[in-house]
A and B are shown apart, each in its own frame.
Chain A
Amino acid sequence: MRAHVLAAACMCLLVGCAKAQLTPTPDSGRELTADQQVYQALTRLSFGPRPGDVAKVRAMGVDRWIESQLAPDRIDDRAANDFVAAHFPVAAESPAQLEGEFPAPGKASADTALRKQEAMKRRQITVGLQSAKVARAVMSERQLQEVMVDFWENHFNIFAGKGGPEQYLLPDYDRSTIRPYALGRFRDLLGAVAHSPAMLFYLDNWESVADSGQPTLGPTRRPFRAQRKARGLNENYGRELLELHTLGVDGGYTQNDVIEVARALTGWSIAGPRQPNPGTFVFRPEVHDAGAKHVLGHVIPSGGGEQDGETVLDIVARHPSTARFIARKLCIRFVNDSPPPALVDRAAATFTQSDGDIREVVRTIITSPEFFSRGAYRSKVKTPFEVVTSALRALGAEADSTPRTAQVVARLGEPLYGHQAPNGYAETGESWMNTGAILARINFGLAVAADRVPGASLDRWPLAAQLASATREAQVDGVVTALLDGDASPDTHRILLTGSNPMLTEAPSQTGLAKIVGLALGAPEFQRR
């Protein structure tokens, strides 16, 4: 904390706070100036300001804009929906449709060349879904909703690249499991995830069956008989449910709780091809462990069947450790990497009092004085996804109708739906900062400025026309405002203006502007929000 305050004070000293308005909004307890509040809201609740956004939020008032973003259903988002539907139809397709269109999962032709082709074709599903996610981040009006979808898809991470059915299931996971509940009730979201074929498959619960010594609710049918003998219980989902999805690793559960949770969830599976509604959730009583379970101090009596799993989800969703774990993770996403404990406490209290109403928890965080504090301002290191989308938004770029932008995100180190382990990508900055990553970020900025990234073109950038014949000073000021949230160190200012060599002078021109844009996108300031 102290380091943050000190850093902010220093930044203020160097940037020259004379330029900024030093009067905070009266009585709000907010440390940031009115304009800083606008940037803070825009860089945290959205993937970065587009041309005109700052003026719009300023005119509307930060608090009203935040309220509007908290109610995404009232925001018209047809443009983004139409774009995605037109260019990335796979995002709207059901697993069954996808299986009809693409080589079936697990199908492997004898011929090596053919097998490669099948794998390539199959990959198009994930490529389409990735591109749809990038497009929505770039052009959706429901920006907070998109930020929350990203948060939850990362929290409930699923890896697309294993070559199994996950890639066929992920579009539905995004559409029906995560999106409807991104600002809804945590218990509903958790339940949707637990029932989703994507998660049942990814974390193996579909094949978790009662150990052979345990009574079940019916005679074991053939496909599962061998398995019961061989393996029985699979703890994978049970463990992650506690460790990653709800209580957190220090949330106060034991290995025995993991086993008991896994036992309660036996039989939560996926319907086979010859069953009704193949590929969807099914409860298999014949492999469900029918004994009593003891979960986190609660007794689940024997014979509960499918309801056992629901009871477990009730217990973990309402556990105080879960309130704290989710509240803290949201504070890290929205405020800074070491969020003030008092804010985490208040957000956790909101979680508990509202019975896990995610919208209310987020509201507590993003309207707090801590959110509008100097320790939070520009403290977050952008993820690769945020680097790319914020650059495109700042330049007023069109969403890319090709997969290339999603590939750029991958090359910067964050292939979407491409994190192997169930813990998802890190929410904190250190993980994103290494020499290779920063090199790639700088080269990305240069590629944008050189017109090599689809959709992003200085010709289309409204500000470029205005600045074309302006002085170099005006060009630098314009770029700093549009790309660096108006916040460049005096050094950065000087380097953008004159180059590191003070003898260097360049005539202002369109190429000059492109150079400034390339440098600004590669600057340390652009790596933060």
Chain B
Amino acid sequence: MERRVFMKEGALALVTLGLSPRFLRRTAFGMELAHARQGKKTLICLFQRGAADALNIVVPHGEQAYYAMRPSIGIPQQTVLDLDGFFGFHPSLGSFKNLYDRKLLAAVHAVGSPSTTRSHFDAQDYMETGTPDDKNTPDGWLNRYLAAKGTCEECKVTPFRAVSLTPQTPRILEGPAPTVAMNSLAEFSIRATGNDVERLEALYRTGSADLVHGTGAEMFDAVKMLKAANPQSYQPANNAVYPRSQFGQRLQQIAQLIKMDLGVEIAFADVGGWDTHVNQGAATGQLANRLDDFAKSIEALVNDLGDRMGDVTILTMSEFGRMAKENGNGGTDHGHAGALFVIGGDVKGGKVYGKWPGLQQEQLYEGRDLALTTDFRSVFAEVAGRHLGATALGNIFPGYSGSKGDWLGVLSA
């Protein structure tokens, strides 16, 4: 079928040189549908790579055992930003405390992967593929969500449906559904001078309607859509101030993309520096600095998006938590369960979710780590199901036996 179309249009293209009807129709259609996506849901996933120390992030300051196991790095009770008399945020999380008080932010504790692995690589792989202990899953769970939702017209013509602000496609987005990875918006452009850009475009607008030409034409549409939105002149709204860090700047670009109404359904970014084996500090220090950047960047994103947060959910994740007991270097070694945050208008915020397993010796996992009470897939599935309206959860998390009954109710139904 397609080949016949190509014969007709190939002949047309010969005459019109680059302005084939296919091109005009496609672009007009693309713009229209992309704008029609306004009001649809967006999910932003943020990965803290390196295993963030959950016990010093959402601090169980009501547990004596916590202070006993962390004599030099424990967060003193008087500096903790108390949430509910038992848990409190690290003092660098003032930004999160604001969001928590506005009921936009929920924390989930003792959450993570049921896998016993303490390898960063394997655990990240499992969290991104959504299949703990199965290294052979070819695609990431976000891509399976995109693919399962399928071939709706809008997905085809919106090249920015799934965007990763990373140099390469992350594992979580690998798979059959098209995604775009970029270091920055500025980099998503053709580095040609003069009229060479138009010539290159004409090369893809003419000729056959095959995979290569089609993808190329889509790419030129995408570059134009981005250029038309003029990302260079961006001013964050509501006095939001993003940190100058790479993470902060990437979140700003995610906000830009969302506000351009380019049809972003999934956005992804990651941030390293959480593998705090040595001198991680307590109320101040290494981890405090990372948390400050992390929370300020996210708060800026939330404020910048303003009312749009009604349609946006931010989901953070880290591959596992760290040992309950501090090590001999003022740091913490690889542990088991951790904590994550869910932020957005759909979130029933202002609460720490999850069953708390306790930190008494016999309550620890393998006698050393925070035990797991919530499978990360239960939270991810709830976000996919309630926020994005995903129905094929069995395909997104194959092999996961949990059901809706296991959901924590972090999002409003």
Contacts and interface: CB of A to CB of B under 8 A. Distances in A.
A489 B136 contact: no
A434 B208 contact: no
A413 interface: yes
Contacts of B138: 421, 423
Interface string A428-448: 011001111111001100110
Interface string A1-12: 001001100110
A460 interface: no
A435 B199 contact: no
A214 B167 CA distance: 48
A500 B202 contact: yes
A439 B182 CA distance: 11
Given A108-B277, A435-B215, A491 B199 contact: no
B212 A528 contact: yes
B201 interface: yes
Contact of A495 (B119, B125, B179, B206): B206
Contact of B3 (A3, A435, A436): A3
Given A421-B136, A435-B180, A489 B196 contact: no
B136 A522 contact: no
B212 A524 contact: yes
B3 A494 contact: no
A100 interface: no
B135 A236 contact: yes
Contacts of A7: 3, 6, 208, 210
Interface in A497-515: 499-502, 504, 515
A435 B178 contact: yes
Contact of A413 (B169, B206, B207, B213): B169
Nearest to B180: A436
Given A446-B192, A518-B192, A500 B212 contact: no
Contacts of B119: 162
A491 B206 contact: yes
Interface residues of A, number: 59
Nearest to A239: B136
A112 interface: yes
A381 B212 contact: yes
A435 B278 contact: no
Interface in B123-162: 125, 135-138, 159
Interface in A104-118: 108, 110-112
Interface residues of B, number: 58
Contact of B14 (A108, A423, A437, A491): A491
Contacts, number: 151
A500 B144 CA distance: 40
B216 A500 contact: no
B223 A429 contact: no
A524 B208 CA distance: 10
A299 to B, nearest CB: 28
A112 B278 contact: yes
Contact of A522 (B200, B207, B208, B215): B200
A420 interface: yes
B195 A499 contact: yes
Nearest to B121: A162
Nearest to A434: B178
Nearest to B278: A110
B413 interface: no
B190 A527 contact: no
B135 A443 contact: no
Contacts of B390: none
- Residue among A3, A429, A433 with most chain B CB within 10 A: A433
A378 to B, nearest CB: 11
A411 interface: yes
Contacts of A442: 190, 192, 200, 216
A495 B246 CA distance: 40
Interface in A461-496: 489-492, 494-496
Contact of A434 (B125, B180, B202, B207): B180
- Residue among A11, A438, A501 with most chain B CB within 10 A: A438
B135 A500 contact: no
Nearest to A159: B121
Given A110-B277, A489-B206, A495-B203, A434 B179 contact: yes
A430 B179 CA distance: 13
A422 B129 CA distance: 14
Nearest to B195: A499
A415 interface: yes
Given A436-B182, A442-B190, A518-B192, A502 B17 contact: yes
B278 A491 contact: no
Contact of B167 (A411, A443, A494): A411
Interface string B204-222: 1011101111011011001
Given A112-B278, A494-B17, 4 more contacts: A435-B222, A438-B219, A500-B202, A523-B200
> 10 tightest A-B contacts by CB?
A491-B206, A500-B202, A435-B219, A489-B207, A433-B215, A500-B18, A436-B180, A524-B212, A162-B121, A435-B159
Interface of A: 3, 6-7, 10-11, 14, 108, 110-112, 162-164, 236, 239-240, 243, 381, 410-411, 413, 415, 420-423, 429-430, 433-439, 442-443, 446-447, 489-492, 494-496, 499-502, 504, 515, 518-519, 522-524, 527-528
17 contacts: A7-B3, A7-B6, A112-B286, A163-B120, A413-B168, A421-B138, A442-B190, A446-B192, A446-B196, A490-B14, A491-B14, A500-B202, A502-B17, A515-B196, A518-B196, A519-B203, A524-B207
